[in-house]
Structure 1
Amino acid sequence: MTSPGTRPTPVIVVLGAEYRQAMVDVLTRRYASEYEILAPTSMEEAVEVLTDLKSGRRPVALAACEYFAGGEKATHLLAKLQTFMPSARRLVYIPADRFRGSVAVMRESLAEGRLDLYLMLPQGPRDEEFHTAISETLSDWAQSVNLSEIDGTRIIADGPSPDLSRIRDFLDRMGMPNTVHASDSAAGVEVLAAAGPGAELPVLQAPTGEPPLSRPSNADLGAALYGRPTDIGEDAICDLVVVGAGPAGLGAAVYAASEGLDTLVIDQGPIGGQAGTSAMIRNYLGFPRGISGMRLAQRARSQAVRFGARFLAGQEVTGLRIGGGPDGCHVVELGAASVRGRTVLIATGVDYRRLGVDALEGLVGRGVNYGAAASTSREVKHKDVYVVGGGNSAGQAAVHLSRFARHVTILVRRDGLAATMSSYLVREIEGNPRITVRPRTEVTDGGGEGRLEWLTLRDVDARTEERVDAAGLYLLLGAEPTCHWLPREVARDDLGFVLSGADTPWQSWQGGRPPQPYATTVAGVFVAGDIRCGSMKRVASASGEGAGVVPLVHAFLAPDAG
């Protein structure tokens, strides 16, 4: 496999007429040392340049096109060239005197997914707002195509496997650069020698200098980054133990730690939860250009750590003993280990429902994926893939995969997407020629030699079946609550979602009054995010709920509480 040092230099392509050279000059001053900047002078030359880049496997990171005063729109020009550079980010740069008149057109192009961003051409040196937008866009591109130049964590593996997919997904979502090497490569031989005889692939070597890990579990991966439960200390009692590190858990961690509460966050997977798999969230407050779920989780995690919160990643919670510790604190069990907290927040979110097709369950990690699994997008270049689901996560996965796959088909049992997906995503999907929506369709079978190669699709109404070629299947099917570890004292609805506030059974009310919002039927145990019965199932609302729990924790911990 190619080593990081031999990867080709990515390219920035600049298109335009009157202001093309000005844009080239601006980009050259900042980015020429890391990117090759090419500026074809005509459509014919642009096609020729991009054809050469594609044949030479030279990646285009950014295509910047001038907003023309007359003639063909920049977005139309970029659309014509997109087939040569599907993963490139698309920018329209606008001279100051045309900016106001262009806003309406650019806004529509953004909403329909034909454009990633538009910026006013800098009017002078050190336009840091302009360069912040460019840098963030290039960073998102590099993350999505996994072209890290950092030889960080090494993974030794020969071909795809469920373990390899799991490990890469964990590391990618934690923002840890990683590279896969074959066992007979120079790096593979070196790492396997250090691992010793009997090591099973995949083998992982972290840059920390610790011994390589053979087929590491999520607990092993998390321990390498944040330690194990035993590191918390036998006598330690946290003010707040947060179970789940999605938006709700991270929101609680930031606000609790910033207000001086001793806060511990535990998650069975990587930090970020289900939202961490979203390739691009465009409707989160304060991020006009959008932000990936992974980056949002990274920033929230760093923010919480800055205030003193501690994390345990890859550690599965197996039980909760109500008031089972000293002074009546709660005990959160993690297999043979445990941690104690005066209060506990249930923020485990939901998991994707299983498809229930045995043939496809056997191919998980070999073309079949539960969740977006952004780390696998590089494996489906120029191939046909299918996404099952009608929610925002499914839409975001389809848009992301369309930058790599030849074509993406979204399968839904409903009549369409409008009832379950945000309007901005529906518009973006409708405007994307690489995405097709097939309503009233379900997957009934699939298979392949060692990995997914085909699927059987059934029309829900006519009951007819069709076999199609498929290199990838991404399953984002509804919501299964992930709180099997909770004791019966914590009331749940018939579907397993945790009840809180006025939704709790009246028998648990005190003095005829229900618990506070986000408070459960157990004193000192709270709930927030998707796992809460009646929640909105959106990233912003989940993070807000997590923050809203903190005043209730303070009130419970107050000396005169009760």
Structure 2
Amino acid sequence: MTIKPMILVVAAQYAEVMEGEFSRYKRDYEVVVVPTLADGLRQAQRAIAFNGQIALVAAESSLADTPGLVALDCIHALSPTVKRVLLLGWGEFRHTRTVVREAMAAGRLDTPLTVPRGVRDEEFHTAVTELLSDWAWTSAGPVVAAVELVSPPDIAALGRLRDFFDRQGVPTRTSSPDSEVGLEIIEQLRSTGHEGEIDYPLVSSPFGGLSQNPTIAQVSTYFTDTSTDLSAEVFDLVIVGGGPAGLAASVYGASEGLRTVVLDSDAIGGQAGSSSMIRNYLGFPRGISGMRLAQRARTQASRFGADLRSGCRVNGVELGTDGSPHVLLTPQGRVRARALLVASGVKYRRMGVPSIDDLVGLGVHYGAATSAARECAGGHVVVVGGGNSAGQAAVHLAKFARVVTIVVRRADLTETMSDYLIREIEANPRIKVAGNAEVVDAGGSGHLEWLRIRNNVTGEEFTKEACGLFILIGAHPCTDFLPDEVARDGAGYVLTGRDVPMDTWRNGCPPAPLETTVAGVYAVGDIRSGSMKRVASASGEGAAAVPLVHEYIATVSEGSISGDTSVDDTADMVGAVGTVGTVGTTA
């Protein structure tokens, strides 16, 4: 018998209302309404004792035996992955506002919700279903899998594939070769005539058949329409990189009538797609996971006709001259572009320690790798890095791991991490910060088992048991495919606008704000020199580049690229959405 996840409601004053409101979830969840924290703890312990899960707990702001926030804290201590809701009566919002705000800043609360006063309060249920959706994806694991992975645990490629599918939002289940599912899939492989040694992982999907240890390029075709021959036409806009900047450009470009294609060597969504929760992105007061944000952006772009290709690496660019198309060299053929937008982003810098790099995919991960979080249950995990991505990873991992240690070379996190994340980390008893420190060695038998950490002030080194190491440090710009004509700064980031060398200006004018040293080639997001390195700013740059592309294409069509897209004509385009010449872009 399948045990349903629990929705636990601790309410006395509004018990009858809550019983009615949560009744719509009873098909898929066990809904339990109790009047006190003591009763709630008994129900939570019962669920855990029978290997059940608690998906969501909602508590009134004031209970007979404790304040509501304390009740949420207590249930969360038993079940760290639970989503937490504080229920407020209509007269309570004003005098609880400060307490609620402080609780949310400290990570003690996912959202406050006002108790419904009438039927069909869909705003209330929208919030509840969003929380349940996020819980199901990040904590519960899939009920129905679109992809089955079969592999022993000591195969490094397994982590690479799981991470790709996770960032693409594809429900995936992993089974061992001797499990019922594993044996069935192996039998399917044998039935095709394969008699030799199996090259794990096996990937089985109704969308892509059965394959052994496939590449990212191969599995990306499972969920992508590849019927269009990319080399058969000239695209108005080709975007290299499918992170927030590239996706924003694809939405605005395609919606404004540009024939647009996005090429990414990995999963569409970029590094942001691996973020477990982004809380400071405009318009999402309860936060949104990077996967969900990328998934929604992909849907938007596809709706307007953009062609999105994951697993499609760009190996080089042949620049056009006098307005002729630029040509991108890919394994799928030569892709021609009237305008090229570089949004290829950055990748995390390698530690350069052989013993650590030997365990990549075996407990060591470059990036957040949210798909690996559940494997860290009850263990000690180390996160290396002091940026927002590292902070988000630590908060997510703390839902599963017993202890999460953030290791940074600086004394603390204040110079590199947003204040809201620092406050949430400080309030989480499972997360520790080791400043002035670095990881210098690692080891284990087939999987990470220990780490050696050095205190850079005292020089002392100590060894810690660890089941996971997540490295989110530095940034290496992904510009290897660009020709030398596209100028870069000393760190390899692409120069744009007034930052380009003056000897590359055209007719005495600098390029447009997001344009490079090559006419018709633009750079946005993390890859651009001087960019803010935030999801919101990257999205804004991607959108702002589209009017510049329109202007450039119009200029080329008129037979001149002498300087019509200079900074003097287009400075007002960046950072705003409005009218450019005869081309209008609306929000």
Q: Of 431, 451, 455, which residue of structure 2 is paired with 1:459?
A: 455
- SS of alignment partner, residue 311 of structure 1: strand
Query: Which one of the candidate residues 247, 252, 265 is aligned to 1:250?
Result: 247
Q: CA deviation at 1:190?
A: 3.1
Q: Which residue of 2 aligns with 1:264?
A: 261
What is the CA–CA distance in structure 1 between the aligned matches of 2:155 and 2:368, rounded to whole Å?
Answer: 17
| Counterpart contact for 2:342–2:523, Cα < 8 Å | yes
Report the equivalent of 2:398.
Answer: 402
Contact 2:230-2:334 within 8 A present in 1 as well: no
Partner Cα separation in structure 2 for residue 336 and residue 31 of structure 1: 46
Q: CA deviation at 1:249?
A: 0.1
Size of the aligned set, in residue pairs, is 553
Cα distance in 2 for partners of 1:211, 1:87 equals: 34
The residue aligned with 2:494 is: 498
| 1:206 lines up with 2:202 in the alignment | no
- Find the aligned partners of 1:43 and 1:554 in 2 and give their Cα distance: 60
Offset of residue 510 of structure 1: 1.5
Counterpart in 2 of 1:135? Answer: 129
Q: Does the Cα contact within 8 Å between 2:11 and 2:63 map onto a contact in 1?
A: no
1:36 partnered with 2:30: yes
Partner secondary structure for residue 95 of structure 2: helix
Q: Structure 1 residues 18, 146: CA separation in 2 closer, same or farther (over 3 Å shift)?
A: closer
Q: Unaligned 5+ residue runs, structure 2? A: 562-587
Q: Does 2:42 correspond to 1:48?
A: yes
Tell me which amino acid in the other structure corresponds to 2:254.
A
Instruction: Write the distance in 1 (CA, Å) between the matches of 2:231 and 2:146.
Output: 33
- 2:123 and 2:41 map into 1 onto residues whose CA distance is 31
- Determine the C-alpha separation between the residues in 1 that align with 2:306 and 2:391: 33
Equivalent in 416, 423, 429 of residue 419 of structure 2: 423
Q: What are the Cα deviations for residues 439-497 of structure 1, in whole angstroms up to 9, with x where unaligned?
A: 11100011111111110010011110011111111000021111111110000011000
Counterpart residue number, 2:581: none
Aligned to 1:3: none
- Residue 434 of structure 1 and its aligned partner are, at CA, apart by 1.1
Residue matched to 2:120: 126
CA contact (8 A) 1:255 1:550 kept: yes
| 1:146 to partner: Cα distance | 4.3
Counterpart in 2 of 1:531?
Answer: 527
TM-score of the two chains, using structure 2 as the length reference: 0.91
The correspondence for 2:215, drawn from 214, 217, 223, is 217
Give the Å deviation of 1:189: 3.1
Q: Which region of structure 1 is more displaced relative to structure 2, 193-202 or 506-515?
A: 193-202
1:170-216 alpha-carbon deviations (Å, 9 max, x no partner): 111111111122323343233233333144211111122x4311101
Query: Is the partner of 2:490 in helix, strand or coil?
Result: coil
Question: Which whole-Å CA distance do the structure 1 matches of 2:115 and 2:349 have between them?
Answer: 47
Q: What is the aligned partner in structure 1 of residue 10 from structure 2?
A: 15
Cα distance per residue 1:226-261 (max 9 Å; x no partner): 155x84243311101000000000010000000000
TM-score, normalising length from structure 1? 0.95
Unaligned ranges ≥5, structure 1: 1-5
- Of structures 1 and 2, the one with the larger relative CO (CA 8 A, separation 6+) is 1
Task: Tell me if structure 1 keeps the 8 A contact 2:155–2:200.
Answer: no
Question: Displacement, 1:71?
Answer: 6.8
Q: CA deviation at 1:124?
A: 1.0
Partner AA of 2:315 in structure 1 = T
Q: Distance in 2 between matches of 1:548 and 1:74?
A: 45
467, 471, 475: which one pairs with 2:471?
475
TM-superposed deviation, 1:163: 1.0
> Could you tell me how far apart the structure 2 residues matched to 1:383 and 1:186 are?
28
Q: Which moved more, 1:308-317 or 1:232-241?
A: 232-241
CA distance in 1, matches of 2:182, 2:124: 42
CA distance in 1, matches of 2:440, 2:182: 40
The structure 2 residue matched to 1:554, chosen from 535, 550, 555, is 550
- Cross-structure match for 2:573: none
SS at match of 2:239: strand
Q: Is the 8 A contact 1:392 1:420 kept in 2?
A: yes
2:436 maps to which residue? 440
Matched, 1:111 2:105: yes
Of 89, 96, 105 in structure 2, the residue corresponding to residue 95 of structure 1 is 89
1:375 paired to 2:371? yes
Question: Offset of 1:9 from its aligned partner?
Answer: 1.2
**Are the equivalent residues in 1 in contact too, given 2:150–2:175 (CA < 8 A)?**
yes
Measure the CA separation in 1 of the matches of 2:73 and 2:474. 33
1:147 aligns with 2:119: no
C-alpha deviations, 1:294-343, integer Å up to 9, x for none? 0000000100000000011012111111118x972111112473211111
- Take 2:103 and 2:66, find their aligned partners in 1: how far apart are those partners? 14
Q: In 2 relative to 1, CA 283–405 (structure 1 residues): closer, same or farther, beyond 3 Å? A: same
| Equivalent residue letter for 2:201 | P
- SS of 1:419 mapped into structure 2: coil
The residue that corresponds to 1:238 in the other structure is 235
Supply the RMSD in Å over aligned alpha carbons: 1.7
Aligned twin of 1:294: 291
Shift of 1:160: 4.2
- Native 8 Å contact 1:194 1:211 kept in 2: no
CA contact (8 A) 2:12 2:34 kept: no
| 1:31 maps to amino acid | Y
Q: What are the Cα deviations for residues 88-128 of structure 1, in whole angstroms up to 9, with x where unaligned? A: 01110111121222222111111111111110011111000
Given that residues 232 and 339 in structure 1 are in contact (C-alpha distance below 8 angstroms), is that contact kept between their aligned partners in structure 2?
no
Residue in structure 1 matching 2:355, options 346, 356, 359: 359
- Conserved in 2, the CA contact under 8 Å of 1:500 and 1:521? yes
1:343 aligns to 2:343 (yes or no): no
Amino acid at match of 1:215: N
* 3-state DSSP of counterpart to 1:530: helix
Q: Point out the more displaced range, 370-379 or 51-60.
A: 51-60
Q: Give the superposition deviation at 1:51.
A: 2.0
**Alignment match of 1:275 (pick from 272, 275, 280):** 272
User: Any conservation in 2 of the 1:20–1:66 contact (CA below 8 Å)?
Assistant: no
Cα distance in 1 for partners of 2:63, 2:81 equals 27
SS at match of 1:39: strand
2:328 counterpart of 1:332: yes
Which of 388, 391, 396 aligns to 2:387? It is 391
Task: Give the AA of the match of 1:15.
Answer: V
List per-residue Cα deviations over 1:335-364 (Å, max 9, x = no partner). Answer: 473211111110011110111111111111
